């Protein structure tokens, strides 16, 4: 798929979910590297950087996207020829895609161990990492059931209930505002993440923080399933995660909105759950308390820190 097509599909949410977005961007950069010709290595690098910028600008919140782009672009490395640069990008993209899929599988195994036989789990939105844990628990013979929220306004809950249904897992489908009514029937919350900041705050689909507050009040544990590339390196230097605000027409049709000139629709796509509401973040490197987010950033994504003091001759993706 071309970079333009991939960018459009991410923007329109045909491709959605932080992990899938990251892999789609990596695939697109790999295909672009294979299809791009340039007379010199710097010219090739410039074309790759244009593609990388286009993809990164599609959705602002999921940190998996710039992280994936950064990892793939690091494949340019110290290449001296176009062929070397192309090979480097293809190799790093393939490696990222493969390790991302393996990460989701590992998280499923680790996360499933936190689910007990007989548990009822509540999930919000549609996260392949969170669903992986639930499906793995079911696959290993635990008798579980799930509450899945609707997820207004884009109804990602419909994708979730289809997946759970196909896996043969008993599921109750509820509107977002019913979480508090059912919280005492729930043993564990499992959600995914679009970003994890250095202080362990979790950015995920709008409504996640309400679920977390409700869970805390009812003493129900909350687990976040998140690959290490969902952690945000630049938050170490104080950069904030931008919360995407999508068009109001996703919430209220333009036809009705036109009749209400004093009403403005606000449609933030994500919210922030503070670390104290999260019991554990399950990553492919193991489960950590959210307060250990810094360690994941330092050990797995340390390049984010370097970038703020870039050396003129080194650093991933800076040479060609
Ligand atoms: C998706 C969402 C998901 C995370 C994690 O939002 O909030 O919970 O992206 O998903 P949107 P995954 O539908 O707006 O992209 O575990 O699949 O990466």
Report which of 232, 223, 224, 201 is spatially closest to residue 296, judged by C-alpha positions: 232
Per-residue pLDDT tens over the stretch 139-158:
999 999 999 999 999 999 99
Pairing of strands 145-149, 170-174: parallel
Per-residue pLDDT tens over the stretch 215-267:
999 999 999 999 999 999 999 999 999 999 999 999 999 999 999 999 999 99
Interval between CA 49 and ligand 1 midpoint (Å): 26
Burial class (CB in 10 A: 0-12, 13-18, 19+), 74: middle
CA 27, CA 7: separation in Å to the nearest integer? 12
Interval between CA 270 and ligand 1 midpoint (Å): 9
- pLDDT(309) > 60: no
Q: Is 127 helix (H, G, I), strand (E, B) or coil?
A: coil
Nearest CA to ligand 1 atom 12: 127
- pLDDT(29) > 80: yes
Interval between CA 128 and ligand 1 midpoint (Å): 8
Query: What length is written for the chain?
Result: 320
Question: What single DSSP character describes residue 121?
Answer: E
CA 146, CA 137: separation in Å to the nearest integer? 12
- Pocket of ligand 1 from Cβ distances under 6 Å: 16-20, 62, 125, 127-130, 156, 192-194, 204-205, 269
pTM as predicted: 0.94
CA 47, CA 144: separation in Å to the nearest integer? 50
- Percent of the chain surpassing pLDDT 70: 94
CA 194, CA 60: separation in Å to the nearest integer? 10
pLDDT category at 1 given cuts 50, 70, 90 is confident
Report which of 274, 224, 199 is spatially closest to residue 124, judged by C-alpha positions: 224
Interval between CA 311 and ligand 1 midpoint (Å): 35
- pLDDT(311) > 80: no
Mean pLDDT of 191-202: 98
Q: Which of 13, 123, 127 most suits a substitution to test ligand 1, by most atoms within 8 Å of the C-beta? A: 127
**Residues classed as catalytic:** 125, 194
Question: What single DSSP character describes residue 74?
Answer: G
pLDDT category at 201 given cuts 50, 70, 90 is very high
CA 205, CA 123: separation in Å to the nearest integer? 11
Ligand 1 atom closest to the Cα of residue 104 is 16
Q: Which of 61, 131, 205, 226 most suits a substitution to test ligand 1, by most atoms within 8 Å of the C-beta? A: 205
- Position 307 scores a pLDDT of 59
Nearest CA to ligand 1 atom 11: 17
To which residue do tokens 């209220």 refer? 252
pLDDT category at 209 given cuts 50, 70, 90 is very high
CA 171, CA 273: separation in Å to the nearest integer? 25
Tokens describing residue 47: 């074309």
- Position 302 scores a pLDDT of 72
| Cβ within 8 Å of residue 231, ≥6 positions away | 63, 67, 195, 196, 293, 296, 297, 300, 301
- Position 221 scores a pLDDT of 98
């Amino acid at each position: 798929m071309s970079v333009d097509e991939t960018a459009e599909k991410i923007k329109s949410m045909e491709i959605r979910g932080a992990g899938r977005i990251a892999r789609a961007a990596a695939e697109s950069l790999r295909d672009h590297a294979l299809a791009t010709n340039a007379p010199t290595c710097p010219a090739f690098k410039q074309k790759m950087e244009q593609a990388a910028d286009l993809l990164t600008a599609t959705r602002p919140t999921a940190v998996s996207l710039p992280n994936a782009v950064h990892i793939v672009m690091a494949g340019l490395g110290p290449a001296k020829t176009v062929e070397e640069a192309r090979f480097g990008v293809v190799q790093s993209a393939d490696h990222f895609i493969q390790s991302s899929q393996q990460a989701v599988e590992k998280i499923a195994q680790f996360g499933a161990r936190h689910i007990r036989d007989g548990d009822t789990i509540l999930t919000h939105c549609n996260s392949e990492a969170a669903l992986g844990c639930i499906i793995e628990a079911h696959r290993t013979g635990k008798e579980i059931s799930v509450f899945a929220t609707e997820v207004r306004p884009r109804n990602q809950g419909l994708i979730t209930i289809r997946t759970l249904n196909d896996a043969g897992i008993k599921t109750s489908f509820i509107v977002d505002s019913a979480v508090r009514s059912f919280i005492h029937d729930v043993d564990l919350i499992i959600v995914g993440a679009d970003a994890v900041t250095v202080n362990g705050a979790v950015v995920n689909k709008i409504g996640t923080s309400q679920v977390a507050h409700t869970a805390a009040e009812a003493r129900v544990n909350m687990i976040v399933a998140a690959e290490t590339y969902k952690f945000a390196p630049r938050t170490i230097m104080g950069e904030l995660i931008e919360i995407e605000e999508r068009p109001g027409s996703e919430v209220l049709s333009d036809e009705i909105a036109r009749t209400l000139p004093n009403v403005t629709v606000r449609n933030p796509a994500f919210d922030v759950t503070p670390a104290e509401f999260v019991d554990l973040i399950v990553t492919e490197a193991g489960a950590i308390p959210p307060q250990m987010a810094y360690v994941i950033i330092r050990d797995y994504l340390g390049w984010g820190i370097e970038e703020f003091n870039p050396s003129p001759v080194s650093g991933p993706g800076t040479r060609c």
